[in-house]
Amino acid sequence: MTSNSIPVLLVTANVGSIFEDPAQMLELWTKEFLATVTKLDPKFIALHCQEVGGKNYEESMRHVKLFLDLLMTSSELRLFDKIRVFLDEDYSSAENFTALGNLYFIHESMENVLLWDFKDSAYVPVQGKEIYSGNIESVVTKEKAKFPQNYFPECKWSRKGFMRTRWSLQGSIFDLINIHLFHDASNFVAMETCPSIYCQTRRKALEHTLHRFHNDQYGKAPYFLFGDFNFRTDTEGVVKKLTEGLNKVQSSKNEVQYTNDNKCILTLGKKEFNHFDHQTVFYKSNPTWLKSYDKELEAFKEHLIEYPVTFPPSYPFEEKISQGSCYMQTRCPAWCDRVLLSHTAKQLVDDRSEVGYNVIGAETCMGDHKPVYLKADLRVNAGPNLSFDDIKMQNLTKKDVDSSTITRYIYIQNIDNPVKIFRETAV
């Protein structure tokens, strides 16, 4: 860390499948994650998780505590003395439950760290370690929402939505948004049109979310949007590419095969996508050809930026420990997991520093999704400056009516944003 920039690590991870085999997978996953932290040496870490507690969350939500303990007690994070964790675990509330988890670790060397209170529209200093889990609807330092119910396939609730926090790090303000969009349920339906019906639903939900932020009641801020977008490749186009010159055979009602001289080259089913040389075609050959079919982000280029993708598709990997670099033969591999930036967030990145954009655990079983990270240095004092050195204090104390705490409202005068407030509370 220099006086002009802060090294940050932004990670998105769909962790659903690691809770299916917690005895082995939780420790394996955290080991790879922590090794990446050690290698990259960030001073601010944001870990955005989806499907916290697993797909069978009624049974496996109890393992989330072990996952958190493995991180919190690790030697790799011992110098991160400021921690904020938001875990949406209340699956009894279908209209609110997202299974999202936002975890933030701030190094002891970091000063002037503030977090936005969405209720009071005020910044609060970040000190110590605070964990919010279970039902977190009333937690004011995060904003969480599911997509409107009519956006969901067949209007049935599933764990899809977003959760965001707003930060001020040494005078630079930005939002960190965790998002989980809708998946592809059937390969056959995904092939019917381009864009597919699933792609259209994802686009609608993402447009809804971006519109909300671009017309923000709390004021606009640069944002980093990272999560499981479930972006898929153009399945129709990929199949055409892979089956040029082959014969199509309807082997059964629910299965189609493409053959060459009676040799099956590609088998398709509702949940089957099986090439006879699957791993070479999609992984070992570094399939740059497949990236040309990754088109879903193009509709949002006016609002969102992504650093060049040089890593293989992040989904769907085998969940067997011995096959960490092998894809499951269920879906066409795709870059579901992304770290995206608004144009204003891109301006926060110090362009003199090296940016890293890659997967974690490329050769290790990390579940069906490989975590994806962005490592970058963010410029300090790049937004409305909330440095403690520049404050002008007014109305210094106000006794809370129903508590024994004293709240100080501190007003920051700034040429770009003349009234910014943060709040300090002391017993």
- Residue 271 pLDDT greater than 50, yes or no: yes
Q: What are phi and psi of 409, to 5 degrees?
A: -100, 120
pLDDT at 388 exceeding the cut of 50: no
Reported as a single tens digit per residue, the pLDDT across 352-364 is: 999 999 999 999 9
Please give the Cα distance from 215 to 210 (Å, whole number).
9
pLDDT tens profile 224-252:
999 999 999 999 999 999 999 999 998 88
Convert the pLDDT of each residue in 327-356 to its tens digit: 999 999 999 999 999 999 999 999 899 999
Give the tens place of pLDDT for each residue, 143-202.
999 998 888 776 676 889 999 999 999 999 999 999 999 999 999 999 998 899 999 999
| Per-residue pLDDT tens digits for 23-49 | 999 999 999 999 999 999 999 999 999
Token output for 376: 């970058």
Pick 387 or 207 by higher pLDDT.
207
- Position 425 scores a pLDDT of 42
* Residue boundaries of the structural domains of the chain: 5-232+275-383, 391-427
CA distance 82 to 41: 16
Spatial separation of the C-alpha atoms in residues 199 and 296, rounded to whole Å: 7
- Checking 188-194 for CB contacts under 8 A at 24+ apart, the result is 188/268, 188/269, 188/270, 190/232, 190/235, 190/236, 191/235, 191/236, 191/239, 191/268, 192/236, 193/236, 194/234, 194/236, 194/237
Interval 107-131 mean pLDDT: 96
Per-residue model confidence (pLDDT) at position 158:
81
Report whether pLDDT(412) > 70.
no
User: Looking at the predicted structure, is the pLDDT value of residue 21 above 50?
Assistant: yes
41 Cβ contact list (under 8 Å, min separation 6): 7
Average of per-residue pLDDT across 207-217: 92
Backbone angles phi, psi at 334, to 5 degrees: -150, 160
- Average pLDDT for residues 278-291, to the nearest whole number? 83
| Across 53-57, 322-326, 421-425, least confident range | 421-425
Question: What does the mean pLDDT of the chain come to?
Answer: 88
What is the Cα–Cα distance from 183 to 197, expressed in whole angstroms? 11
Q: Is the pLDDT of residue 408 over 50?
A: no
Determine the pLDDT at residue 60: 87
Would you say residue 50 has pLDDT above 90?
yes
Q: Which neighbouring-strand residues pair with 406?
A: 399, 426
Higher pLDDT, 218 or 86: 86
Average pLDDT over residues 293-317: 96
Alpha-carbon span 33 to 15, nearest angstrom:
12
**Is pLDDT at 407 greater than 50 in this prediction?**
no
Alpha-carbon dihedral sign for residues 263, 268, 271, 273: positive
Calculate mean pLDDT across residues 90-99.
91
Burial environment of residue 419 by CB neighbours within 10 A (0 to 12, 13 to 18, 19 or more): exposed
State residue 121's pLDDT score.
Answer: 94
Predicted pLDDT of residue 287: 63
62-77 pLDDT, tens digit per residue, is 999 999 999 999 999 9
pLDDT average, residue stretch 89-99: 92
**Is the preceding peptide bond at 316 cis, omega within 30 degrees of 0?**
yes
Distance between CA atoms of 220 and 248, rounded to whole angstroms? 52
For the chain, how big is the Rg over CA atoms in Å? 23
342/347 Cα distance (integer angstroms): 9
pLDDT at position 59: 85
Q: In 10 A of CB 3, how many CB atoms?
A: 7
pLDDT for the residue 200: 94
**Half-sphere exposure of residue 329: CA atoms within 13 angstroms, side-chain side:** 13
The confidence score (pLDDT) of residue 151 equals: 80
Architecture label for domain 5-232+275-383: 4-Layer Sandwich (3.60)
